[in-house]
Structure 1
Amino acid sequence: MTIDINFNVNSDARGGDPDSTSPTLRKYHKILWSKPLPNGKNFELTTKKTGAYLYHKSELGEFTLGSDAITHSYRNQKRKQWLIEQVSNEVDELFDIGCTIGAYIVFPKNKIHNKFTINQARGVNSLIDDRFDLTLECIRLFYEEQENPLYDTFLRYKNFFDLFETFNGYVGFFLLNDLLDENQNVKFYLPFDNFKSRPVFNGIEDYQLYKKRVTNFVASRNNRIENYIKQVGKMPAHNNE
């Protein structure tokens, strides 16, 4: 099975949110993340569980996963319209880049104790503002058992993060290596103050730098995905449900 890293998942989303309605995005997720975990056990995902986007059940546990976009153009965020209107062409370009497979990941989709899922928490936490570089730093800190803005949310899904054993295991599994530097530290899109203040764009220059770094990450991850698929070779027929 091949993956087209240039495919725009909005094109078959039928006017809806690609995370929910693009059959190609769902298929790509299934292909990419059905593979051996760091412990060597196979994490096989199925689309045949009624009501589930992607599903796994084995001695590893039971997991219901959903798609989550990990880039954000902020095109429709009201409080940023003062800026968005000034760089509308660049915003549209970033939006389109964010519609390729390199701009998506999966997280557990089931609610626990009727509290926010990871996807929801990332979006509403003002110290994250739906930025994936900041989310990944929270994941790094979680594996080190250090407090962070998403710690309590991640703790509810500890069995999911335990699948990957370590932060490097998580990063390697989801092909996120290009968002880390040579010392395995997160490469932040904008200057980072250790979650002491809310992330903001102070002007056009901030947005342009943000766009450049997000674009570079997605392009690099798309290439990594393409290389991974080439290495894996032709997927077994039973993986193409």
Structure 2
Amino acid sequence: MPTALFPHHHWADADGLSAPDPQLAATGYFRNDPDSDSRNLQRWHQQLWSRRLADGTGLELTSPRRGVLLTDGGIALTSDAAVPAWEHWSQVQALKPETDELVRARGRGSIHQLGWRLYDMGCFLLFPGLQIGRQHTINQARGWTPAIADRLDLTLECIRRYYDELPEASAPELPAGYDLTNPLGPVLHRYRTFFNVFGSFDNYVTFWMLEDLVTDEPGGPQVRFLMPRDESGPYDFQRESGLPRTADAYSEYLIAADDFVQARNRRLAAHAATITRLADPICQACLDTSDGVHQRWTL
């Protein structure tokens, strides 16, 4: 099996291997969690996100121990694979056979092959990793909140609303009903020291290279949702489902998620090419700005 090139997943070291086990990769992903157990992933995070924007906004990261990165402001961050395929979620099992046929027909391989590809660096983010008051971290809340279902686009919508409502959210008590319009609002507010680093939604998006999930609208930046919606207008967390209800919606989400990760891979590769301390070779296909899906690993 070929050596992984940045930004393609190189997390076999989480399992103590130099390359993914083909038999394991054909059915599973990793025995251990790369977010906590991959030295390569942690090193790539540290190299990528020790950076400054034009206005000076940014981070300097150190690696005090496995799975944790520490900012220059003393905030402990942990990695999160933020673009799920839901392959093993019980709520979507009935949809999988038809969905698998649909994504194969679009040339994306099986759900598992597509989900394997979503483990590229383009799917990963850093969030504060230590609990406050024994309450959920952002990573935990994203997965446990049904309205979010671990989706990055819905998480980003909550972050956008957090910044929009920041004057109210910074009051001694959160506004009544805040969690109804922003289900992650309370947990984001608990970690406001982290979000204060970026100061605005625009800076947050730019720093983490999430531009491919955002569109510029007359009223300000809006999140580009990865799953088809049955209605237009502002996203309604009370009525809309975080998980797909049909095979068509599931397949459209997976294809949009695949496109997003590939697009962010290209952004990350372009940035990595400017980092002189990045020792790993960079995937030349990701430095090509033309569209197209390519898969580094052959299972």
TM range (shorter): 0.7 to 0.9
| Alignment counterpart, residue 187 of structure 2, candidates 153, 168, 172 | 153
Instruction: Indicate the SS of the match to 1:182.
Output: strand
- 2:118 matched to 1:81? no
Rg (Cα) greater in structure: 2
For 2:83, the aligned partner's letter is: T
| Alignment counterpart, residue 222 of structure 2, candidates 185, 205, 208 | 185
**Separation (CA, whole Å) in 2 of partners of 1:106 and 1:138:** 16
- 2:79 matched to 1:67? yes
Alignment correspondent of 1:215 = 258
Q: CA deviation at 1:196?
A: 2.5
Q: Deviations over 1:18-48 (max 9, x none)?
A: 111111111110011111256416521111x
Alignment correspondent of 1:4 = 6
**Separation (CA, whole Å) in 2 of partners of 1:236 and 1:6:** 14
| Alignment counterpart, residue 56 of structure 1, candidates 60, 63, 71 | 71
Q: CA deviation at 1:235?
A: 2.5
Q: Deviations over 1:37-82 (max 9, x none)?
A: 56416521111x246610124xxx3110000011101111122211
Give TM-score scaled by structure 1 length: 0.88
| Alignment counterpart, residue 110 of structure 2, candidates 90, 110, 116 | 90
Q: CA deviation at 1:90?
A: 3.0
Q: Deviations over 1:188-226 (max 9, x none)?
A: 012164212232322211111001110111010000001
Alignment correspondent of 1:17 = 33
Q: Percent identity?
A: 33
Instruction: Indicate the SS of the match to 1:181.
Output: strand
Alignment correspondent of 2:200 = 166
Instruction: Give the direction of change, closer, same or farther, for the CA distance of 1:153–1:38 in structure 2 (3 Å limit).
Output: farther
Do the aligned residues in 1 keep the contact of 2:35 with 2:67 (CA within 8 Å)?
A: no
Alignment correspondent of 1:36 = 52
Alignment correspondent of 1:233 = 275
Q: CA deviation at 1:167?
A: 0.2
Unaligned runs of 5+ in 2: 16-30, 101-108, 167-177, 280-299
> Runs ≥4 in structure 1, deviation > 6 angstroms?
none
Correspondences of 1:103-142 after superposition (within 5 Å): 103-142=123-162
**Separation (CA, whole Å) in 1 of partners of 2:67 and 2:118:** 24
- 2:267 matched to 1:224? yes
Give TM-score scaled by structure 2 length: 0.72
Unaligned runs of 5+ in 1: none
**Separation (CA, whole Å) in 1 of partners of 2:210 and 2:58:** 20
**Separation (CA, whole Å) in 2 of partners of 1:46 and 1:82:** 44
Do the aligned residues in 1 keep the contact of 2:272 with 2:278 (CA within 8 Å)?
A: no
